[in-house]
A and B are shown apart, each in its own frame.
Chain A
Amino acid sequence: AQSVSQHNHHVILSEAASLELGCNYSYGGTVNLFWYVQYPGQHLQLLLKYFSGDPLVKGIKGFEAEFIKSKFSFNLRKPSVQWSDTAEYFCASWRGTDSWGKLQFGAGTQVVVTP
């Protein structure tokens, strides 16, 4: 069965530090990968997604992620975080085909950025 695993449950870092959140998926078929973010008190929203083509995907707010097929990974990165990046981050993978499917989410990583 497919699963999505996120390496860290909690990350604490200072402003201006670099951030990298790990995500691995186990499904071996066609892959669509997503990072969603939930800021405190707000809805889940899409940061970026990989569908096909360039494995380096750029998203909103300076985030990017790299799809490495050989490692089954889709790690999220940001070179310099801000206090406003404090949030919970979820990696997700589309499991299915063109005629059925669902998003499968990882357990999430809580990121706290200190001033």
Chain B
Amino acid sequence: GAGVSQSPSNKVTEKGKDVELRCDPISGHTALYWYRQSLGQGLEFLIYFQGNSAPDKSGLPSDRFSAERTGGSVSTLTIQRTQQEDSAVYLCASSLVWVRGETQYFGPGTRLLVL
């Protein structure tokens, strides 16, 4: 039905705390992507999933970042021991399949602020 949804829309946390960001892709989309958009920066690719599998995790900024996808649907991005430099908008996107050039549909993002 609807497009990609993300929750929460905004998250304020204290440095050192863990946060979980959730993404619900468009129903039937097998590929899912996470990006980060920092102030004044473009979109930085973090990770993608084909089904439940993440073939390339090299885009994750540090080992404090992890992501999983279960049931080929919902995905969570977890940031452990958050730092102030983690403050950004985290965007999720999905596409029908994972093929070169496939159109990605983006969610509204989660705005994370680490104090």
Contacts and interface: CB of A to CB of B under 8 A. Distances in A.
Interface of A: 4, 30, 32, 36, 43-46, 49, 51, 90, 92, 94, 96-98, 100-108
Contacts of B93: 44
Interface residues of B, number: 26
B61 interface: no
Interface stretch (B13-21, B67-75, B95-103): B95-103
A33 B44 CA distance: 16
B48 interface: yes
Interface of B: 3-4, 33, 35, 40-45, 48, 55-56, 59, 91, 93, 99-101, 103-109
Given A4-B42, A43-B3, A43-B108, 18 more contacts: A32-B100, A32-B101, A44-B93, A44-B106, A46-B104, A49-B101, A51-B101, A90-B43, A92-B43, A94-B100, A94-B101, A98-B99, A101-B100, A103-B45, A104-B45, A105-B35, A105-B45, A107-B42
Contacts, number: 55
The binding surface of chain A is classed by DSSP as strand
If over half of B's interface residues share one DSSP class (helix, strand or loop), that class is named, otherwise mixed; here it is loop
A102 B45 contact: yes
B103 A96 contact: no
